[in-house]
Amino acid sequence: MKLWGGRFTKPTNQLVEEYTASISFDQQMWRQDIVGSLAHVAMLGKCGILPMDEVKQIIAGLKKVKEKIERGQVTFQVAHEDVHMNIEKLLIEEIGPIGGKLHTGRSRNDQVALDMHLYLREKMLELIQLAAYLQNALLDQAANNLDTVMPGYTHLQRAQPVLFGYHLMAYVSMLQRDMERLQDAWKRVNVLPLGAGALAGTTFPIDREFVAELLQFDGVYLNSMDAVSDRDFIVEFLSAASLLMAHLSRLCEELVMWSSQEFSFIELDDAFCTGSSIMPQKKNPDVAELVRGKTGRVYGNLIGILTVLKGLPLAYNKDMQEDKEGMFDTVATLHGALALLTPMIETMQVNKQRMRQAVAEDFSNATDLADYLVTKNLPFRQAHEVVGRAVLYCIEQKKYLLDLSLEEFQRFSPLIDADVYQALDADTVVNARKAMGGTAREQVEKQITAYRGFLEQTKSWINQTSQKVSIESLVDVGSPV
């Protein structure tokens, strides 16, 4: 008999049970469901809705159910549809009909919303922590490569020399924005929906603020219909996650290119590469390629939930069961990507000599020759033309700018003097860019210092928040009663 079966005259068709059940995936929220129930029943006792002796029985029963699940003694049943009904059924089996009083003053609609808020706020903290680890690894590599000159690219064509540390700091900056987005979205996750009932609130004199306090929520939904129908917090998470995955994918694309024989800028540690079943010499950057590939599934999860929500009338609809699998999948996908990329970046070997050689074999110092002529009082647009003709000459002669004799330079402009060789040296070119945000070593050092400060602030926020809201820290919410 279904817990809701009183109105029905026939058992549910087995195909319907299998098709509509969510226990296969939402069972991973069993801890959140128990913690939410502990807080709910503690409130029912405080408000005098249930007698304290029954409240204590329910709390003890829920903790026994928790212990059984942890010991692997529980098999969740499709017949009970979802994690909420499975746990309630287990509770009733444990303590008898009194367990059925747990659901007083709530609905599965606000219960499932609570579970997802509890689940996502903890998982987002974990993901921010993992992003911080990756950011730290990139900062360390940047600090170790303050004298490593490499070609900078636009349109995937060599553009201007930059420090490798400077290039990595661009990804540090992206991760900073990603973590800030997740922290900001976390505020909307940390709002309590429980007490909204099915959609219109409840006739019982509940205390929602007390539950919010027990579960460390910063506030409660003011409108019950919004509380049960809102999935903005999941959309916002998936949006931030999609952008984070885009940044990881861009980094991975460069790792794949840089580790190729054509570039040979880096070598990834053997522990993070794989081989070929037929070609013995191969060392493939499979981890980076998979992160790049899995970006699409995260994007798909975002589009999926947006499509589910786009035409739904208020309040709860069964369509909204589709909100969970994409959320779970994105959490797992991001977790795996961040956890793997950190040690891969930490152990990455940088071929400094090859990078410098690459800079010596291109025209990425051409802009600096134009700037040099500007310092000699030639208008930049004219200087641009002069350098363009010099580059064309070099291409025809199979030379680079620094290969030209002073006499050859002066064919293009008499303003060029012997000091041009120093001006076009790769280290000079890099360190000449001293304006804020530039690639000069002193500017990169300032960027590293600034972002290490941001990282410490993020770590402090994570530590303080995690201690407060982790599920393990909330399992005794019912103890005071």
> Looking at 24, 260, 276, 473, which residue is catalytic?
276
- Compute the half-sphere exposure of residue 65: CA atoms within 13 Å on the CB side of its CA: 32
Q: List the beta bridge partners of residue 151.
A: 161
Q: Is 151 helix (H, G, I), strand (E, B) or coil?
A: strand
Q: Is 191 helix (H, G, I), strand (E, B) or coil?
A: strand
- The Cα–Cα gap between 236 and 116 comes to 13
**For this structure, is 384 an active site residue?**
no
Cα Rg of the chain (Å, integer): 30
Task: Provide DSSP, 263-275.
Answer: T--EE--GGG-B-
Q: What is the DSSP letter of 276?
A: -
Six token digits for residue 311: 């035409």
Angle at alpha carbon of residue 131, lines to 125 and 133, rounded to 5°: 105
- The Cα–Cα gap between 209 and 427 comes to 62
Residue 84 CB-density burial (10 A; 0-12 exposed, 13-18 middle, 19+ buried) = buried
Q: Which residues, at least 6 apart from 40, have a Cβ–Cβ distance to it below 8 Å?
A: 102, 105, 106, 194, 211
**For this structure, is 40 an active site residue?**
no
User: Burial code of 253-289, b = ≥16 C-beta within 10 A, e = fewer?
Assistant: ebbbbbbeeebebbebeeebbeeeeeeeeeeebebbe
Which parts of 184-281 are beta strand (E)?
A: 191-192, 219-220, 266-267
> Looking at 24, 84, 103, 155, which residue is catalytic?
155
- The Cα–Cα gap between 397 and 195 comes to 79
Residues serving a catalytic function are 155, 276
